Amino acid sequence: MAEPSRTVPGKGKVPFDPDWFWRQFRQVPAPDYAEDLGPCRIWRDYPVDSNHYPGVSVDGKRWIMHRLSWWLTEGSLPQEPFFVLHHCDRRACGAPAHLYEGTKKDNKADEMERGRWKGSGWEIRLRQYREHGVA
């Protein structure tokens, strides 16, 4: 997938402004299992528990907000089968610290698939927390 240009042709040659992007969030406490990672940053007026991924128009193309957050932070996007996933399981969250690269199987956080994934130390603690209530 091509990376977004820093212009927004739909609005003329307006430079894409990361500062604008980062101002569109409101900060809320993370869920207990992700509080080590700092607060969630929820996109604009989206509900915290939204079932939808917020979209952002860049270069005439709709970007999924948290992928744009990842791109701005990391400078590239994961290639399939890897995706940008949420530690906090909140689709409207774009906090860079809450994002990680993983496969779709990894994304089934509350299902058996996640139990088969080794993951980072943090992920292992998260899994233990979810399964046993202790980290």
Which residues form the interface with Zn ion (CB under 5 A)? Answer: 40, 88, 90, 93, 95, 98
Residue 84 tokens, joined: 């940008």
- Distances 43 to 69, 73, 94 between C-alpha atoms, Å: 11, 16, 7
Smallest separation, CB 33 to Zn ion (Å): 11
Smallest separation, CB 78 to Zn ion (Å): 18
- Contact between residue 81 and residue 104 where contact means Cβ atoms under 8 Å apart: yes
Smallest separation, CB 66 to Zn ion (Å): 9
98 or 114: whose CB is closer to Zn ion?
98
85 or 88: whose CB is closer to Zn ion?
88
DSSP 3-state of 19? helix
Beta carbons within 10 angstroms of residue 110's beta carbon: 8
Smallest separation, CB 107 to Zn ion (Å): 14
8 or 102: whose CB is closer to Zn ion?
102
- Contact between residue 59 and residue 13 where contact means Cβ atoms under 8 Å apart: no
77 or 95: whose CB is closer to Zn ion?
95
* Cα separation, 135 vs 131, whole angstroms: 10
